[in-house]
Each structure stands twice: as C-alpha cells, then as structure tokens.
C-alpha cells in the first residue's frame, strides 16, 4: 500500500508542479538565486510528503555544525534512493547533488534536479566527469553548497566502500569546508525488501566541518580516507538510535 501512496504522491507532484517549473525558468533568467531558493523549497516540501507516505521517521543531529556564512561540500554515505530526499528535507543550505548520469533520463525529476543545481556525473568519461566537477566548483564559488557520495554507488554493507579521492576536489579547489554526513538505516525504507516500501526510522547526522588545509600533511594526501573514518565513527555511534 505504501508503495502506491509514494508513487501517487510523486506523479501528482510532477503533474501539478510543471506549470510552477515553467514560471521558475522565466524567473531564473532575471534572478537565478531566487529560482534555486524557491525550487529547493518546493522540492523539500514534496520530499517531505513522499517520506510521510512512506512512513519514514527522521532524527536529525548536528544541523548546527553547518556554517551559515559559506557554501560547503556535504559528503555522505549512500545506502538508498531515499538518501537525497532525506538530506533535502533537513539540509540548512541551498544545495545541489552530484548524481549518476542515469538519473538524467528520469522524466520530470531531472527537470527539478537541474533547477536546484544538481549535476549528473558520467564516471565512464573522464573528460565529461571533469567538466561536471568544474561546474560544481563554480556553484560553490557562487555560494551554493554541493553534496556527493564518494562511495560511488549504493552500499548496504556495514563497512563503507573506499571513498574516491577525486570526489573531494570541489572542497580542495575552493577551500570550502567539508561536512561529513552519516545516514543510518535509510535502506530499510525500500532496498532491503524491494519492491515494498515500509516504515523506517532514519538517523542523519551532520558532523563538524573539516577544512582540508588544516589537516596534517599525510591525512590531507588521503582526505577521502580520513572523511570515511569520520563518517564510519558517526554511523557506529548512531546505530543504537534506529
């Protein structure tokens, strides 16, 4: 039953919001920032409804750790399709996600993702991938935060996959802080019992900012491994809460 409610909520949103999307495209020609801000508010509202239909309870920890005076790079562990909705309904900054290129083919969803500065990464094409990262760097310089999952794919094991070092380039090139984000139990919504959607309690923690230029030289060289360790510790700490 919940899968029907979730699907219905998404379809209704895409249909009813399309006129608003068109208006925001016109607004964005004169005021891009307003387009992004309003679009994210609408997307967050829609995701809240979808998560309620799914019966998802969320506990958010550490939102106060996110600086309010600068863009950041959110780095999160990736367990579920629900990770982006979960973050979008709790993130305190205007934020675009780096998603895999296949999502670009999903009708309507891809339109709203572009409206909130999401980027689509082609991991098989180095030149295209570099272009995507450069665009992310430009967004951060403009004051928009970005979010990326360095594991590169959804992972349901207790142990995180190795973090791809290149995923932190946006922070390295801009000097923006990295916010480690630990997401516990999000795959219990859908992935662990596909095709059914079930009630779940998800814990999201925003860790303290990590500034690459403040790390010791050896840790800076393997910053991805360092951030992975930080997120792993957060996940282990929060596991009893789910």
The answer to whether 155 touches 78, Cβ cutoff 8 Å, is yes
d(CA 147, CA 187): 19
Cα separation values, 173 from 49, 73, 141, 185, Å? 37, 11, 10, 32
d(CA 64, CA 192): 31
Task: State whether residue 90 is helix, strand or coil.
Answer: coil
b/e map 217-229, b = 16+ CB within 10 Å: eeeeeebbebbbe
80's tokens: 């579920």
Tell me how many domains the chain contains. Answer: 1
Q: For the whole model, what pTM was predicted?
A: 0.94
How many alpha carbons fall within 13 Å on the CB side of residue 19? 2
E strands within 4-121? Answer: 56-61, 73-76, 95-100, 119-121
**Predicted pLDDT of residue 128:** 84
Q: What is the CATH number for 196?
A: 3.40.1130
Closest CA to 106 of 4, 26, 173, 10: 10
**Predicted pLDDT of residue 57:** 96
Closest CA to 159 of 219, 85, 233, 242: 233
Residue count of the chain: 242
Backbone angles phi, psi at 164, to 5 degrees: -75, 120
* Strand 200-206 with 56-61, pairing: parallel
Range of the domain at 210: 2-241
Q: pLDDT tens string for the chain (242 positions)?
A: 798 999 999 999 999 999 999 999 999 999 999 999 999 999 999 999 999 999 999 999 999 999 988 999 999 999 999 999 999 999 999 999 999 888 888 888 899 999 999 999 887 788 888 899 999 999 999 999 999 999 988 888 889 999 988 889 999 999 999 999 999 999 999 999 898 999 999 999 999 999 999 998 888 888 999 999 999 999 999 999 98
């Amino acid at each position: 039953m919940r899968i029907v409610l979730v699907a219905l909520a998404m379809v209704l949103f895409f249909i009813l919001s399309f006129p608003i999307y068109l208006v925001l495209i016109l607004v964005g020609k004169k005021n891009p920032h307003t387009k992004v801000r309003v679009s994210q508010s609408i997307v967050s509202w829609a995701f809240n409804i979808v998560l309620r239909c799914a019966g998802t309870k969320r506990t958010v920890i550490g939102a106060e750790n996110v600086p309010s005076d600068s863009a950041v790079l959110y780095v999160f562990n990736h367990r579920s399709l629900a990770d982006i909705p979960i973050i979008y309904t709790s993130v305190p900054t205007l934020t675009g996600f780096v998603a895999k290129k296949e999502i670009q083919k999903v009708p309507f969803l891809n339109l709203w993702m572009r409206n909130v500065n999401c980027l689509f990464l082609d991991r098989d094409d180095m030149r295209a991938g570099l272009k995507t990262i450069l665009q992310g760097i430009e967004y951060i310089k403009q004051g928009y935060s970005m979010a990326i999952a360095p594991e590169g794919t959804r992972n349901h094991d207790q142990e995180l996959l190795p973090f791809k070092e290149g995923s932190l380039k946006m922070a390295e090139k801009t000097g923006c802080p990295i916010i480690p984000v630990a997401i516990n139990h999000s795959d219990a919504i859908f992935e662990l019992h596909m095709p059914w959607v079930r009630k779940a309690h998800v814990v999201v923690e925003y860790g303290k900012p990590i500034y690459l230029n403040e790390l010791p030289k050896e840790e800076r060289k393997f910053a991805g491994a360092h951030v992975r360790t930080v997120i792993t510790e957060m996940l282990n700490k929060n596991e009893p809460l789910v």
